[in-house]
Structure 1
Amino acid sequence: MTGQPIHDDHNKWQRRLDELYRKRLSDMKQLDLTVENLHGLHEKLMRETIQIAIEKTESERGKVPAHFTFFVMGSAGRAEQLQWSDQDHAIIFEQEDDEHKENQSYFLKLGEEIVEALESVGYERCDGNVMASNLRWCKSRESFKEQLLGWLREDTWEHMRYVLTFFDGRAILGPEHFLSELKETLFNEVRQNKQLLQRFKNNTGRMRNGIGLFGQLLTETEGDHKGTFDLKQLALFPYVNGLRLLAIQEEITAPETLKRFEELPNRCRDIQAYQESYRRLLEKRIVWQSTIQSYEKIHHVDVNKLDANEKKQLKEWIKEGRELYHMVEKIVGSSHSL
């Protein structure tokens, strides 16, 4: 009988998460599917889920021992999630001296609870383990800064990928300046070492072509997505990667691609001309994927279900994305002006 209260507590937290998941499904069916509405739904759901994870952790480990910031990355950081999404997130916490080293253990535990809670309400775990349960993505302010500087000063493809992933971070709980001060650290390093911009370009410049020699949309030739078109990699990423590079060079902290377009300086008007195409692509992607019922298929579209006009429009957006990225490549890290 001694284990019964613990079992009951677990059921209590799980019932709340199950209720949130059912509410998610209900709200999604009633939602007017737009970029802003989907973002709002995900934001509210994630905050409520994280609060449950915090309460559960506090019931087992005591009160949260220090101020912390929970931030999301990937499509969540950019406010570009579809109906289904995976997890990309991290924790930065206050740790002032050696006496607070137990904070690391506490926040890793909290990170684990957040991962499990988000999974319960429908967010898949990140394949690359970019989650607050991973020591790499759960650190004190000082340790996170040291790690970021280490990534920037070690010339490896993997570390540059970590930096670019981090830069799409957006705080959804806790002090925003915990995150913004790290982005300022990145900007400061780039000011001192312009070669970093070239390294970032090398990391994102290997783009697959989405259109074949005969003007056809190139679909997957093998694997689980055989015969479908990868909207994320082939259509969205040239815009996403291009605007991220510009945001680093122009010291724009906003993680959302659309906001990065808006905050570009006036000399970038030629780049800003692509903003409306990107917004329309995001909106159309939501419509095309509105019947998808799982994360595994959310980024791939069956081109056979698109009519002739939709295929033509998709090809135009793909071409414009590649044009934009090539323009950015010439600008970033060079003395060229627009």
Structure 2
Amino acid sequence: MQNTISFRIADFLKRYPPFSNLTKVELETLSEEVSIVYKEKDSLVFEIDETAHPHFYVVHKGAVALWNDSEKSILDLCDEGDIFGLRPLMANENYRLMAKTEEETILYAIPIEKFHPYIKENERVANFLVESFASNTRNPYDESNKGQLLGNINFDANADSRLLDLQSVDFSKEVVSEDENSTIKAIAQTMTSKGIGAVLIEKGGLPAGIITDKDLRNKIATGQHPINAKAKTIMSSPVITYPAKLTITQAQMAMMKNNISHLILTEDGTINTKAIGILSKHDIMLSLGNNPAVLVKAIKRSKNVEAIKSLRKGVMNLLRGYLEQNIPMALTSKIITELNDVCIKKVVELSLQRMDSEPPVKFAWLAMGSQGRSEQLLHTDQDNALLFEDVPKNKFDETQGYFLKLAKHITSGLNTIGYEFCPADMMGSNPKWCNSLSGYRKMTSKWVMNPGKDEILLSTIFFDYSRAYGDKELVFDLSKHIVDTIKKYPIFLSHLAANALANPSPTGFFRQFLVEQDGQHKDFFDLKKRALMPLIDAARVLILSHNVTDISNTWERFEKLAMLEPNNAEIYIACSYACKALLKFRTKQGLQQNDSGQFINLEQLGKEEKMKLKRTFKTIKEIQGLLNIRFMVSRVR
């Protein structure tokens, strides 16, 4: 009769290396020798210097932290499918780390004696164990190993990058050359037939000079030299040469310094080796096609929203390139947000041109929600508002009517370039969100003084606003009013904290992902609601408790909090890392799925991706614990 338990163990182990490299028979044989170990939360598996166990471990359910007790820090966090406790197998020594469960955990204990034969007979198994034994931690709490989460991979500016003008320039590898004794007429005919603007002049197979269409205009068309003269009489010499690995900045600097429009690229960068390419100013402009500065100029010159829509594709291509090259998420977000802001400003300007008259009073266009936080990297729906200067009561309807018409042009334009209309109609084209400074003061005061469910929900969206266009003083005055009101009614922060704790947990029993139980996204994981929003909501209430209104970005809020509260700096920095990691993960998923990236099909994720997600969940739990204690949430529930 088949051993059902060992069969289940084999079925689990075959999904993870190194066991995935074993044959079915080998795996079933080994599984019969495996022991099942149950540990409660905060239980020791082994201590530092403890005598080696006769087995190593695989996490079946739960999580085990590996601690360096002398440094009081977690060096690694082992999740489902992870192996640990390899020292007695690899080095036959006592343990140098402490293994302790982070939660209720089930382990599979693999007997070393029974596993040794597979190491000797299977090179892939042996290699995996050696690499695992020597691998570095990716734990954000470990100061010596920070920077390895999804959102914090170090960027090497010398790498082949598309970041600004550090990128390598594309050049023509088809070098058209002529001998220095060729006639100018023959060279002109070659340039015409091949549709090129320059010809390399060689002597003995090496670059000796260059003739461009500018030379033909200035030296031949003017009659300075006859058409049958030799190339060497009008060529520019010596040529300026560079190696093939050339950045846009280097190319631009060389052309400006020497007042030339072409560079010759040679094997070693000198005139003493063969030419392998030619670079023109036109090539540089083509290379700059996905450069943020070029995109900004193009957007600002747009004559209509359709032109902006076309350029937005370039912004998305830029985003894909940054993600592919692991550009830090904070920098990626800043660049894409700046480009999005330029698009919004241009839409507002084009909308103003459609109005019959100038605005009657000062106004500001506010971006809210993810765009207000500088976290809207993908094309999602609009959340915006229009704030205008106070007017006499008898002028209000007329003034609001003007701005409602303007707002409809703006929201329609934003929709054209890729921002969907807000399903809840939280847009400046709605009279509720097209109001005077006094009107918004009255509205926000009501939210703070009488924080019901609807008022808190509106606060979580509106209080993340940023000025996208218009008058700074109006926005400053509104922000100051909100902070002053919260100071008078601090109980509002407790209600806001309670809302931050209302988001469903990312995981359930044994840290399994909690997925949607019904509806369109049944069995999918809601990355926004279960992972990102708890961090966003926590950052908002904490930063408001310090009366800070000029920072709306979530990870920047946490970084500011780390400065304001040094005793909690570790958890705030961890939250900052986690937020960037999750946003990068969501953006990648959204680009792959061509949607907002909110709902994740877990079956399409690899083990490493699932582990990276789960590592952020511990941080979410800790920051929610801090909120619960600080704001005494239980008293408002």
The TM-score with structure 2 as length reference comes to 0.47
Residue 64 of structure 1, aligned match among 354, 359, 369: 359
Residue 43 of structure 1 is matched in structure 2 by 341
Whose helix fraction is larger, Structure 1's or Structure 2's? 1
Q: Which amino acid aligns with 1:125?
A: F
In the alignment, does 2:588 pair up with 1:287? yes
Residue 217 of structure 1 is matched in structure 2 by 513
**What is the distance in 1 between the residues matched to 2:626 and 2:308?**
44
Higher RCO (Cα < 8 Å, 6 or more apart):
1
The 3 A distance-change label for structure 1 pair 204 and 128 is: farther
Residue 331 of structure 1 is matched in structure 2 by 630
Map Cα deviations across residues 282-338 of structure 1 (whole Å, 9 max, x no partner): 22332233223234xx3112222211011011011123112212212322369xxxx
Contact 2:504 2:530 in 1 (8 A): yes
Residue 311 of structure 2, aligned match among 23, 30, 50: 23
**What is the distance in 2 between the residues matched to 1:49 and 1:301?**
33
Residue 233 of structure 1, aligned match among 522, 525, 529: 529
The 3 A distance-change label for structure 1 pair 302 and 82 is: farther
Contact 1:38 1:83 in 2 (8 A): no
Residue 4 of structure 1 is matched in structure 2 by none
Q: Which runs of 5+ in 2 are unaligned?
A: 1-302, 324-331
Q: Which amino acid aligns with 2:631?
A: V
Q: Quote how far apart the aligned CAs of 1:46 are.
A: 1.8
**What is the distance in 1 between the residues matched to 2:534 and 2:416?**
32
Q: How many residues end up aligned between the 2 structures?
A: 316
Q: Which amino acid aligns with 1:165?
A: I
Pairwise mapping of residues 72-151 of structure 1 onto structure 2 (< 5 A)?
A: 72-101=367-396, 102-151=398-447
Map Cα deviations across residues 118-141 of structure 1 (whole Å, 9 max, x no partner): 111110111221110112211111
Contact 2:571 2:622 in 1 (8 A): no
Residue 489 of structure 2 is matched in structure 1 by 193
Residue 612 of structure 2 is matched in structure 1 by 313
**What is the distance in 2 between the residues matched to 1:55 and 1:67?**
16
Residue 304 of structure 1 is matched in structure 2 by 603
Q: Which amino acid aligns with 1:72?
A: A
Which of 1 and 2 has greater Rg? 2
Q: Quote how far apart the aligned CAs of 1:38 are.
A: 2.6
In the alignment, does 2:559 pair up with 1:259? no
The 3 A distance-change label for structure 1 pair 271 and 185 is: farther
Residue 10 of structure 1 is matched in structure 2 by none
3-state SS of 1:218 partner: coil
Residue 350 of structure 2, aligned match among 44, 52, 55: 52
3-state SS of 1:281 partner: helix
The TM-score with structure 1 as length reference comes to 0.87
**What is the distance in 2 between the residues matched to 1:242 and 1:27?**
30
Map Cα deviations across residues 57-82 of structure 1 (whole Å, 9 max, x no partner): x2xx3111111111111110111113
Map Cα deviations across residues 132-185 of structure 1 (whole Å, 9 max, x no partner): 011221111112111211222224211122223221010111123322322222
**What is the distance in 1 between the residues matched to 2:480 and 2:571?**
24
**What is the distance in 2 between the residues matched to 1:159 and 1:30?**
38
Q: Quote how far apart the aligned CAs of 1:40 are.
A: 2.5
In the alignment, does 2:500 pair up with 1:204? yes
**What is the distance in 2 between the residues matched to 1:39 and 1:216?**
34
Contact 1:65 1:103 in 2 (8 A): yes
Contact 1:201 1:329 in 2 (8 A): yes
**What is the distance in 2 between the residues matched to 1:155 and 1:170?**
23
Contact 2:367 2:384 in 1 (8 A): yes
Deviates more, 1:31-40 or 1:306-315: 31-40
Q: Which amino acid aligns with 1:277?
A: A
The 3 A distance-change label for structure 1 pair 148 and 27 is: closer
Q: Which runs of 5+ in 1 are unaligned?
A: 1-14
3-state SS of 1:284 partner: helix
Residue 272 of structure 1, aligned match among 572, 575, 578: 572
**What is the distance in 2 between the residues matched to 1:135 and 1:326?**
39
**What is the distance in 2 between the residues matched to 1:190 and 1:26?**
42
